[in-house]
Amino acid sequence: MDKNLAANHANQQKAKPALHLVRWLVSFYLLISWLTVAAIIILSYTAPNLVNPEAWVRGIIIAATSVLTLVFANRAATGKPRALMRLRIVVTLLLVAFTAVLFFLSLPIWMKVEQAVCSALLLVIAILIFRR
């Protein structure tokens, strides 16, 4: 039993640097998401032709889920295995949603670029959190 406990502790120690990087990347994803909401608000007043209803809905949903993703990343970085499982689920769902949005939703070009950047960040995060 002590060997299993020691092996588990060693695995957690190896995972900590990766999870701290994940936390940093998720923080960057959150920043981009909330800056996008700010851009949507500003563009709605200054250049309304660059914003559509889909951009509003998508921007708000992504900003809200970015907060949830950061909560899970923070908890996973402290060694909570259920938080890591939740983070894996959320990141997987977000990757699928981002891919679908890029192909099927009518968004302004600037927001499609933002969505592609967020997709790339989420892909890197997924690679990090699904590695053994």
DSSP assignment string, 39-87: HHHHHHHH-GGG--HHHHHHHHHHHHHHHHHHHHHHHHHTT-HHHHHHH
Sorting pLDDT into bands at 50, 70 and 90, what band is 3? low
Q: Classify 111 as helix, strand or coil.
A: helix
Read off the pLDDT of residues 20-60 as tens digits, 9 standing for 90 and up. Answer: 899 999 999 999 999 999 999 999 999 999 999 999 999 99
Read off the pLDDT of residues 81-90 as tens digits, 9 standing for 90 and up. Answer: 899 999 999 9
Cβ proximity of 88 and 76 under 8 Å: no
